[in-house]
Amino acid sequence: MSGFYVGKLPRRDRWSAAVAAGPDDGESQLTKRALITGITGQDGSYLAEHLLAEGYEVWGLVRGQANPRVRRVREILGDVRLVRGDLLDQGSLISAVERVQPDEVYNLAAISYVPMSWQQAELTGEVTGLGVLRVLEAIRVCSGISASRSPGRGQIRFYQASSSEMFGKVRESPQSEQTPFHPRSPYGVAKAYGHHLTQNYRESYGMFAVSGILFNHESPRRGAEFVSRKVSLGVAKIKLGYEKQVRLGNLGASRDWGFAGDYVRAMHLMLGRDEPTDYVVGTGVTHSVGELVELAFDVVGLDWRDHVVTDAAFIRPAEVDQLCANPAKAASELGWETHVGFEELVAMMVEADQKLLSESGGHAEDSFGPDAW
How many residues in the chain?
373
Q: DSSP string covering 157-211, please?
A: EEEEEEEGGGT-S-SSSSB-TTSPP---SHHHHHHHHHHHHHHHHHHHH---EEE
Given candidates 10, 26, 41, 151, which one binds ligand NAP under the rule CB under 6 A?
41
Identify the H or E element spanning 25.
helix 23-26
SS3 369: coil
Q: Please say whether the beta carbons of 111 and 117 come within 8 A.
A: yes
Smallest separation (angstroms) from ligand G4F to the CB of 331: 19
Query: What whole-number distance in Å separates Cα of residue 46 and Cα of residue 51?
Result: 9
Measured in whole angstroms, how far is the alpha carbon of residue 311 from the centre of its chain?
Answer: 29
Active site residue 165: yes
C-beta closer to ligand G4F: residue 142 or 192? 192
**Per CB under 6 A, which of residues 217..246 are in contact with ligand NAP?**
217, 223
Among ligand G4F, ligand NAP, none, residue 114 binds (CB under 5-8 Å by kind): ligand G4F
**Taking CB under 6 A as the rule, does residue 125 contact ligand NAP?**
no
Give the active site residue among 117, 165, 211, 232: 165
Query: What whole-number distance in Å separates Cα of residue 32 and Cα of residue 48?
Result: 13
Longest dimension (CA), the chain: 71
SS3 156: coil
C-beta closer to ligand G4F: residue 103 or 165? 165
C-beta closer to ligand G4F: residue 43 or 86? 43
Give the active site residue among 46, 56, 106, 187: 187
Given candidates 33, 63, 134, 265, which one binds ligand NAP under the rule CB under 6 A?
63
C-beta closer to ligand G4F: residue 40 or 143? 40
Query: What whole-number distance in Å separates Cα of residue 345 and Cα of residue 301?
Result: 17
Active site residue 187: yes
Among ligand G4F, ligand NAP, none, residue 256 binds (CB under 5-8 Å by kind): none
Among ligand G4F, ligand NAP, none, residue 77 binds (CB under 5-8 Å by kind): none
Active site residue 163: yes
**Taking CB under 6 A as the rule, does residue 43 contact ligand NAP?**
yes
CB-based closest residue to ligand NAP: 41
**Which stretch, 36-44, 264-272, 324-332, 340-348, contacts ligand NAP (CB under 6 A)?**
36-44
Q: Burial code of 277-291, b = ≥16 C-beta within 10 A, e = fewer? A: ebbbbbbbebbbbbe
SS3 49: helix
Among ligand NAP, ligand G4F, none, residue 270 binds (CB under 5-8 Å by kind): none
Catalytic residues: 163, 165, 187
Interface with ligand NAP by CB under 6 A: which residues? 37-44, 63-64, 67, 69, 86-88, 108-112, 127, 161, 163, 214, 216-217, 223
